[in-house]
Chain A
Amino acid sequence: DAGITQSPRYKITETGRQVTLMCHQTWSHSYMFWYRQDLGHGLRLIYYSAAADITDKGEVPDGYVVSRSKTENFPLTLESATRSQTSVYFCASSPGTEAFFGQGTRLTVV
């Protein structure tokens, strides 16, 4: 199916564990993004990528790592999860203007 998919949809992990959120798009968009949505903050940019092997920090990058070895994939890794990283995470891709979002991953860190 064409589009952008995130996995898993829901994840519960323990403090200190490493967890990876997956994102895959089929449009071959150059740009990909990770946002987190928290009550009272709207959507905040974590990391972005302009092309394969090109990534950069957004507004709230601390505690996160990304990679983009292929155009279609943009995984987000929490190296050592903390409770403050409990959030809903959205991946998006863009051809350069509007961004198209995945359905989100709800991550709970206990």
Chain B
Amino acid sequence: DQQVKQNSPSLSVQEGRISILNCDYTNSMFDYFLWYKKYPAEGPTFLISISSIKDKNEDGRFTVFLNKSAKHLSLHIVPSQPGDSAVYFCAASDYSGGGADGLTFGKGTHLIIQP
């Protein structure tokens, strides 16, 4: 029973265009959502997060949108750059527990930026 779903295993986008990565969740208790970026042979690195009290959070080229009624979030990268080619993981947490019981991750989307 997957609580966090990333239905696109891979996504190819041209350099300079917008990349949109999607994520759906089923657990209504999740109240904090994060995106991680992972390069081969490295650990995941934190990219951006959003609390359930917000519907948008921006950090430079990265924006995360949250639609609670649809249990859906998306990560927008504008403009896409070659260094953005990586696997992106969506993660969620029931932060009311203080974050003690960890994050639930999706399976990841491999983003490929084409020159």
Contacts and interface: CB of A to CB of B under 8 A. Distances in A.
Contacts of B36: 101
Interface string A50-85: 100000101000000000000000000000000000
Count class of interface residues, chain B: 20 to 34
Count class of interface residues, chain A: 20 to 34
Residue among B44, B45, B46, B104 with most chain A CB within 10 A? B44
Interface in A38-55: 40-45, 48, 50
A42 B106 contact: yes
Given A40-B107, A41-B107, A42-B107, A96 B44 contact: no
A40 B102 CA distance: 20
Contact of B44 (A41, A58, A101): A101
Interface of A: 30-31, 33, 35, 40-45, 48, 50, 56, 58, 90, 92, 94, 96-104
Interface of B: 6, 32, 34, 36, 41-46, 49, 89, 91, 93, 95, 98-108
